[in-house]
Structure 1
Amino acid sequence: MNASLDGATSGPTVSIIGASGYSGAELTRLILRHPAVRLEHLYAFSQAGKSVSSLYPALGCDRIYRSYEGETGSDIYFLALPHGEAHAIVPKLQAAGKMVIDLSGDFRLRDTDEHERFYGGRKSPDAVMTYAMPELSREAIAGARTVSNPGCYATAIILGLAPLFARSSALPRVRSVACTAISGLSGAGRSSKTELSFAEMSENIRAYKVGVHQHTPEIMQALGTSARNPSFDFSFTPLIGPLVRGIYATLSVTLDGPVDLKEARSAYEAFYRNAPFTRVRSEMPEVRHVAHTNFCDLHVAYAGQHGTLTIVSTIDNLLKGAAGQAVENMNIMLGIDETAGL
C-alpha cells in the first residue's frame, strides 16, 4: 500500500461491502487516509480475488477484494451495494451490535408502499434506519448505530429546499417546486451499459425516469410530506449528461407570496451557518467547484415579485452524494470532528 495513503494505525476497524463500485472506491480512498479508523476488509462479490490496484491503480492499494460470507469481525461496516441487497445483510450486523452505514435505498423510506412503488420488491415494515443527512438530523445520527445514507439527487435537492420548510422559516409557504437536475454518468454505477458509453453520451443529454425517479419519495419524506399525499406540487426531471461526476440541480419554487432576494439569501445563510459542508454562495455555483469534494454549493439566484424563487444546488454525486457523506455520518456517530478525513 502507498504509505502516503495510510490512515490511522489504531482505532475502530472498518470494512466495506461492495467496495469495487465507484462509491466503494471513493470509500476506500477516504478510509485509507482517515485519521481515526483503520481499513480492515474490502468485500466485492463480482471482483473477489482481484487486487484493488488492478481496478483502481490511483488508490495505491494492493489489498485483495474478498467475497463476503457473513463475517461480523469489524467495528464499522459500510454497505455500497445495489438496491435490494442490503436487506439480507444488515439484520445480522445489527444483531452483532455493529455500526452500519448503508448507501443503498433499502432503508431510506418509512412508507412500505412508497418503497415498493418506487424501488420494486417487498420491504419489511420494520426495516427502517435513521435517515442520515447531517444538516437536518445531526443529533439523531450521533445517537444511532445504523444509518441510511441519503441518495445523490436527494441530497442536492433536499439541501436546496430545506430552509424553506424549516419551522423557524419566516419565508412564505411553498406551493410548488419544479426541479431539473443533471447527473454525471458515474451515478449509474460501474456496470457497463451501451447507452451510457462515451460514444452515446458525448455531446448528448437526455431525461429519464421523469416523475417516477426513486429519490422522489425520499425528498418528500425529508421535507415533511409524502409522494402519495404531498403538501405541495412537486415535479422532478432527472437528466443525464456528458460529465463523469457531479449533480447540478435547478429548483424553481412558487411561494404563497413574494419574498425579497436578500431576505431569502439571509434565511439560507442562517440555516446552514453551522453546516461545514454546505456553502451558500453569492455567485452562481458550478460542478467543477465541488467535484472531488464533500461540499454542497447553494445559490439563491432569483426572487420574483409574484412569489417565485430559483435556487441552484450542486454536489459531487460520489462524495457528498454518497461516500463523502457516509464518512461524514460515521464521524458524527463516532463523536469526532465531522470533517475528519474529508
Structure 2
Amino acid sequence: MNQQQKTWTASVIGASGYSGAELIKLLKRHPGIEIEALYAHTQAGKHFSELYPAIPCDKVFQTYEGQTDSDIYFLALPHGEALRLVPGLLAAGKKIIDLSGDYRLEKVDEHKHFYGGDKSPEAVLQYGMPELFRDEIVKSTAISNPGCYATSIILGLAPLFRGGMVGLEVESVNVTAISGISGAGRSAKTELSFSEMSGNMRAYKVGKHQHTPEIMQALGTSATEPSFRFVMTPMIAPYVRGIYSVLNVRLASPATMASIRELYAGFYADAPFVRLRNGVTEVSHVANTNFCDVSLAFENDGSLVIITAIDNLVKGAAGQAVQNMNLMLGFDETTALL
C-alpha cells in the first residue's frame, strides 16, 4: 500500500480556536485523513459543534495528556505551548505540524527578543512554506508552519531575493500590512470588541512584530544583521479574515515591469496557490481560499510596489498546514484545498 492509498489518523491540539476550527473543516473533507481526537483544555467535555455549528463534526473536546495514538498531530496553540509538547511527540515518532512561532527561528537570541519567555526551542523544525521549500518538506516529519503576516510578505518578496535575476538588488522594503480581527485569536479582548473596532483601524506592535525575523530569515538574511532596510507596520481593521500587504520596494538599479513580471511568473510557475494578478488584488478575491494573490506596479519615482492578499486563517494558517501535510504524506498538494 502506498501513501496515497493509506488513511492517516490526525489529531488537533488547540482545536477550539479559529485556526483549529479551520483545520477541522479542511481535514473533514480530506479523502485520506480520519480525525481521531480534538484537544482543547478550556473546552473539554463540549462537542465541537457547540462552538462551531456550521462545521459538521461530532467530536468531543478532550484534555491533552501526552496521548500519541494518531499518525499526525497539528498544534494550534498559543506561543510557548508547543515547546512543551513537541519533544514528546518527536520522541514517539509522530509527524508534527506546529502552527505557532515556537520553532520557526534559527537564532535563539532572535527568538528570545521577539517572542520572550524563558524557554527557547532545542531544535528548529523545517520551515513549512511549500513555494520555497517543497523538496525539504516532502522529506520532513516535523514542520513549523509560517505565520500569517510572514506568508503574505515573504511570498510577495521571495522572487526578488531567491529568483536569481542578475543585477537585481533590493535596498529597502517598507511594508504596511492590514489584518482582519480573527488574526488576534478567539479569546475575548475588550480592544477587539465590536464597539472598539467598528469604524476604526489601528497599528500595533510597531517596530517589534514577531514575524519580522521569520521574514528576514526566509529571505536569506536576519533581523539583527539585515542586508537591506526593512520596516513593517502591522495594522488591524474591522473585517473578519484576510491580510492585505502593501510592499514598497526600493531597488538599487532600475528594472522594467516586463522583467519583474517574468521573474515572478517563472518563480511561481509550479506553485498552485500563488496567483500573479493583472489588476490590483483585494482581500475578497482570496477569502476562504488557500490562494495568495500578487499584484505588481511601479511608482513614478521608480520604486516597485507589490500588493499581496491572503486569508489569514487558510493560507496564513490551517490551509498552509494542510498543504504541508499533503506534501509530507504523499498526497497531491492541492487535496482538500481547491
TM-score, with length taken from structure 2: 0.96
User: 3-state SS of the aligned residue for 2:284?
Assistant: helix
Whether the 8 Å CA contact 2:111–2:120 is kept in 1: the answer is no
Q: Which residue of 1 aligns with 2:180?
A: 184
Q: 1:311 aligns with which of 306, 314, 318?
A: 306
Whether the 8 Å CA contact 2:112–2:120 is kept in 1: the answer is no
Q: 2:331 aligns with which of 311, 336, 341?
A: 336
TM-score, with length taken from structure 1: 0.95
1:234 aligns with 2:230: yes
Q: Which residue of 1 aligns with 2:147?
A: 151
Sort the Cα spacing of 1:148 and 1:125 in 2 relative to 1 into closer, same or farther, 3 A. closer
- How far apart are 1:123 and its partner, in Å? 3.9
**Structure 2 CA distance for aligned equivalents of residues 210 and 124 of structure 1:** 23
Corresponding letter in the other structure for 2:216: M
Whether the 8 Å CA contact 1:261–1:303 is kept in 2: the answer is no
Q: Which residue of 2 aligns with 1:225?
A: 221
**Structure 2 CA distance for aligned equivalents of residues 143 and 177 of structure 1:** 33
Whether the 8 Å CA contact 2:103–2:121 is kept in 1: the answer is no
User: 3-state SS of the aligned residue for 2:35?
Assistant: strand
**Structure 2 CA distance for aligned equivalents of residues 117 and 10 of structure 1:** 42
The 5 Å alignment of 1:213-292 reads 213-292=209-288
**Structure 1 CA distance for aligned equivalents of residues 176 and 141 of structure 2:** 34
Whether the 8 Å CA contact 1:19–1:25 is kept in 2: the answer is yes
- How far apart are 1:261 and its partner, in Å? 1.2
Bigger shift: residues 262-271 or 147-156 = 262-271
1:298 aligns with 2:294: yes
**Structure 2 CA distance for aligned equivalents of residues 37 and 177 of structure 1:** 41
Q: 1:98 aligns with which of 79, 85, 94?
A: 94
1:16 aligns with 2:7: no
Corresponding letter in the other structure for 2:81: E
Corresponding letter in the other structure for 2:323: E
Q: 2:30 aligns with which of 20, 34, 40?
A: 34
Corresponding letter in the other structure for 2:287: A
**Structure 2 CA distance for aligned equivalents of residues 98 and 125 of structure 1:** 18
- How far apart are 1:169 and its partner, in Å? 1.9
User: 3-state SS of the aligned residue for 1:57?
Assistant: coil
The 5 Å alignment of 1:111-126 reads 111-124=107-120, 126=122
Bigger shift: residues 256-265 or 112-121 = 256-265
**Structure 2 CA distance for aligned equivalents of residues 9 and 129 of structure 1:** 27
User: How many residues are treated as equivalent by the alignment?
Assistant: 334
User: Between the two proteins, what is the percent identity of the paired residues?
Assistant: 62
**Structure 2 CA distance for aligned equivalents of residues 173 and 233 of structure 1:** 12
**Structure 2 CA distance for aligned equivalents of residues 332 and 171 of structure 1:** 34
1:134 aligns with 2:130: yes
1:208 aligns with 2:204: yes
Query: Residues 186-208 of structure 1, C-alpha deviation per residue, up to 9 Å, x if partnerless?
Result: 00000000100111111110001
Query: Residues 94-148 of structure 1, C-alpha deviation per residue, up to 9 Å, x if partnerless?
Result: 0111000000000000000000000001344632100110000000100100010
**Structure 2 CA distance for aligned equivalents of residues 11 and 295 of structure 1:** 26
Whether the 8 Å CA contact 1:129–1:148 is kept in 2: the answer is yes
Aligned-residue RMSD, C-alpha: 1.4
**Structure 1 CA distance for aligned equivalents of residues 114 and 234 of structure 2:** 15
**Structure 1 CA distance for aligned equivalents of residues 234 and 304 of structure 2:** 20
Query: Residues 148-187 of structure 1, C-alpha deviation per residue, up to 9 Å, x if partnerless?
Result: 0000000000000000001522352000000000000000
Q: Which residue of 2 aligns with 1:3?
A: none
Mark the runs of 5 or more structure 2 residues left unpaired by the alignment: none
**Structure 1 CA distance for aligned equivalents of residues 195 and 277 of structure 2:** 35
**Structure 2 CA distance for aligned equivalents of residues 156 and 181 of structure 1:** 9
